[in-house]
Structure 1
Amino acid sequence: MKIKFLGAAGTVTGSKTLIESNGIRIMIDCGLFQGIKPLREMNWDPLPVLPSTIDFVLLTHGHLDHCGWLPRLVHQGFKGKIYCTSPTKDITKLILLDSAKIQEEEAEKANKGKYSKHEIAESLYTIEQAEKVFPLFKVVKVGESIPLDAQIDAVFTSAGHILGACSITIKLENKTLVFSGDIGRDDDVLMYPPTKPKKADYIFLESTYGNRLHPQADTKSELEMHVNNTINLGGTVIIPSFAVERAQTIMYLLWQLKEEKKIPNIPYIIDTPMGISALNIFRNYPKWHKLSLEEIEKVSEMFLLVSDYKETNELILDTRPKVVIAASGMITGGRVLSYLEHYIVLPETTIIIVGYQAEATRGRKLLDGAKEIKIYGQYYPVNANIQEIQGLSAHGDQKDLLNWLSQLENKPTKVFIVHGENQPADELRIKIQEKYGYDCKIPLIGQEFEL
């Protein structure tokens, strides 16, 4: 059996792990690279194997860095089955269509504004190509064994993180391989704790926050403070957010604060069509999260739900203090850019970063103190107040990741540490070896191992 790391090795994004066994090829996740330009450029590269020779894709969840390369895979010849949970199927559809739409729009803007280095800017894939992915989905139930081949079985188990997110256990060649996917938190606001593995010969463990502990500070109080401070200055709060789970978490906390009369009666806006659609996914899958249907309706009523871009432009020009939640979470695209073009230059604006920011994304640059930021070919001075609320991340921290390993009944042969930048991955490696004595390896992109 061979394992080849095609993404999310030495970096957080672009999750793709290829398994080859007895003539069968299985890919775990098929994500987009995000962040620094050399990584983003890898999205245009062909895979080292022909997509037509891959038999199955197993999706851990529907975030772009785990599913966003599927349209390229299918366009280049993949015709196999894509296994995932029902919420993941719905979320992936939303995210792929949104991703394709943004890419088409950005290519069009680059061509109109003539700021692309290419003679004609092209989108990585189109809406039409994204839609060709959907007929290949095959929905699985949590805990059920799925026979991929006569001697290969897969089982999906809940990972917390977002709706539908799972870890995946594959049994083949008398070995048990466990792919963590993205691990949620043991104390998340909306999601239930992840299911911990009991047996594994090889573990593929994410390390996004492998060197961090989430602060013990009260995140709701932090949100209250930033909103009130900004509104008192007559400013606007902009929260760039992942449209699935994070946006709903922030909406829920703001609703609680308003119910408790701790924040003022001003416009609260959710400006992400995908985030609004994700509310319906929460309604459709009540067993996957902690919110009641009544709470979902009450939260929704508090917010102005914006889908039409004309309304976005009207809100941008509205000078009244307000709170805006807009995609995307790492400020790599989407409607939040339109708000930032206008508001990032204003000192009374507060931008609250609420999730992981990959290297070289605009979100990371703002956290690192950038004095100016480039949006659609133009530079804007950063005069806004940049804040981070670390406690709102949907990723487990170092303690959660170590705890996820705590119920193993056997000592795995090896733990591959993936989906993390170099320092977090290495610090997690040290902690795992100290606590459990497991042999750990941090693979590089393109590396292949025989198991």
Structure 2
Amino acid sequence: MKIKFIGAAGTVTGSKTLIETNGIRILIDCGLFQGLKSLREFNWEPLPVLADTIDYVLLTHGHLDHCGWLPRLVSQGFQGKIYCTGPTMEITKLILVDSAKIQEEDAKKAIQENSSKHEIVKPLYTVEEAKKVFPLFNVVPPNVKVSVEPEIEAVFTTAGHIIGACSISLELEGKTLVFSGDLGRDNDVLLYPPVKPQNADLVFLESTYGDRLHPDNDPKTELENNINETFKKGGTVIIPSFAVERAQSIMFLLWELKKEGRIPNIPYILDSPMGIGAFEVFFNNTQWHKLSLADCQAMSKMFIINADYEETLAAITNKGAKVVIAASGMITGGRVLSYLENYIGVSETTIIIVGYQAEGTRGRKLIEGAKSIKIFGNYYKVRAKIIEINGLSAHGDQADLLNWLSELKNKPHKIFLVHGEHAAADELRIKIRENYGINCSVPLMGQEFYF
């Protein structure tokens, strides 16, 4: 068996792990690289193996950095099966179409404004190419063994993080390989805690927050305080957020605050073309989260959901106090950029960062104190107040990651630490050795291992 790391090795995005066994090739996740230009350039490169020689893709969940490269994979010849849960399939369809629309819009805008350094400006993939992925989906239920091949079986178990997200246990060649995917928090406001693995010979564990603990601060109170402070100044609160799950978690907390009379009666806007679709996923899959259908419906009524860009422009033009939740979560694209163009230079604005910000992203630059930020080829001075609320992260922290390993009945041969920057992964490696005495490796991009 050969294992090759072709994404999310030494970085947090671009998740792709290739397993080769007895002539079968299985790709665990197929994500887009985000952040640093040196990483984003990988999105334009072919895989180190021919796409048409890959037999299966197993998706842990529907975030862009885990599914966003599927249209490129299909355009380069992949015609195998894509296994995932029902909610993950629904979310992935939304994410891929939205990603393609954003890329088409950004390419069009760059051509119109002559703001690109490239001679030929084109999207990474189009909406039409994104939709060619859809016929390849095969939905699997959680906690049920799925026969991928006669001697290869997979089990998907709940991982928290976002609706439908799962860890994947893969049995082949007499070994059990466990891929954590992105692990949610044990005390998430909407989702159930991740299921801990019982047996594993090889573990592939995410390490996004491997070097830190989430603060004990109450994120609900932090939201309340920042919204009220901004309201008193007549300003706008902008919350960059992933449109699926993180947005719903924030909306849930805002809904509770509004019911309790703790935040003002101003417009609360979800500005995302995916907003309506994401709500439908929540409505249709209540067994995957803690909210009842009645709660989902009541919560959604509090918010103005902008689907069309004309509605976005109208919200931007209205300078009155408001709270806007807009994608993308790391401010790498999407509607949030239009808001920042108009509001980041206004001192009364508050920008609340609620999730992990990968190296090289605008969100990372903002929390590191950038004085100016580049949007669509132009630089804007940062006069807005930048707040980070770590308590709203969808990723488990170091304690959650260590706890996820606590029920293993055997000592794995090796744990590979992926989906983390080097410092975070290495800190987690040390903690795992101290707590469990298990041999850990932090693989490099392109590195291969044989078992």
Corresponding position of 2:43? 43
Q: Are 1:163 and 1:288, in contact at CA under 8 Å, matched by a contact in 2?
A: yes
1:66 aligns with 2:74: no
Q: Where does 1:41-440 land on structure 2 (aligned, <5 Å)?
A: 41-440=41-440
Distance 1:104 1:320 in 2: 31
Corresponding position of 2:11? 11
Distance 1:220 1:211 in 2: 24
Q: Amino acid of the residue matched to residue 214 of structure 2?
A: H
Distance 1:443 1:177 in 2: 16
Q: Are 2:275 and 2:305, in contact at CA under 8 Å, matched by a contact in 1?
A: no
Q: Are 1:270 and 1:276, in contact at CA under 8 Å, matched by a contact in 2?
A: no
Give the CA deviation at 1:305. 1.1
Q: Could you list the runs of 5+ residues in structure 1 that have no partner in the other structure?
A: none
SS of alignment partner, residue 38 of structure 1: helix
Q: Are 1:200 and 1:410, in contact at CA under 8 Å, matched by a contact in 2?
A: yes
Distance 1:198 1:212 in 2: 25
Distance 2:440 2:65 in 1: 24
Give the CA deviation at 1:372. 0.4
Q: Are 1:214 and 1:390, in contact at CA under 8 Å, matched by a contact in 2?
A: yes
SS of alignment partner, residue 369 of structure 2: coil
Which piece of structure 1 moves more, 274-283 or 47-56? Answer: 274-283
Q: Amino acid of the residue matched to residue 346 of structure 2?
A: L
Give the CA deviation at 1:293. 1.0
Q: Amino acid of the residue matched to residue 355 of structure 1?
A: G
Give the CA deviation at 1:275. 2.5
Calculate the TM-score normalised by the size of structure 1.
Answer: 0.99
Q: Are 2:59 and 2:83, in contact at CA under 8 Å, matched by a contact in 1?
A: yes
Q: Amino acid of the residue matched to residue 326 of structure 2?
A: A
Give the CA deviation at 1:3. 0.1
Deviation per CA, 1:211-236, whole angstroms, max 9, x where unpaired? Answer: 11111111100000000000001100
Deviation per CA, 1:270-311, whole angstroms, max 9, x where unpaired? Answer: 111213311110000000000111111111111111111111
Give the CA deviation at 1:144. 1.0
Corresponding position of 1:445? 445
SS of alignment partner, residue 274 of structure 2: helix
Deviation per CA, 1:34-89, whole angstroms, max 9, x where unpaired? Answer: 01000000001111100000000000000000000000000000000000000000
Distance 2:416 2:312 in 1: 44
Q: Amino acid of the residue matched to residue 450 of structure 1?
A: Y
SS of alignment partner, residue 48 of structure 1: coil
Distance 1:277 1:357 in 2: 25
Q: Percent identity?
A: 70
SS of alignment partner, residue 273 of structure 1: coil
Q: Amino acid of the residue matched to residue 362 of structure 1?
A: R
Give the CA deviation at 1:343. 0.4
CA RMSD of aligned residues (A): 0.6
Distance 1:336 1:429 in 2: 36
Give the CA deviation at 1:120. 2.1
Give the CA deviation at 1:117. 1.1
Q: Are 2:275 and 2:307, in contact at CA under 8 Å, matched by a contact in 1?
A: no
SS of alignment partner, residue 329 of structure 1: coil
Distance 1:143 1:217 in 2: 34
Q: Are 2:15 and 2:419, in contact at CA under 8 Å, matched by a contact in 1?
A: yes
Q: How many residues align?
A: 451
Q: Could you list the runs of 5+ residues in structure 2 that have no partner in the other structure?
A: none
SS of alignment partner, residue 333 of structure 1: coil
Q: Are 2:162 and 2:394, in contact at CA under 8 Å, matched by a contact in 1?
A: yes
Deviation per CA, 1:392-412, whole angstroms, max 9, x where unpaired? Answer: 001000000000000000000
Runs of 4+ in 1 over 6 A off after TM superposition: none
Deviation per CA, 1:330-371, whole angstroms, max 9, x where unpaired? Answer: 000000111110000000000000000000100000000000
Deviation per CA, 1:118-166, whole angstroms, max 9, x where unpaired? Answer: 1121110110100000000000010111111111111111101111000
Distance 2:144 2:291 in 1: 25
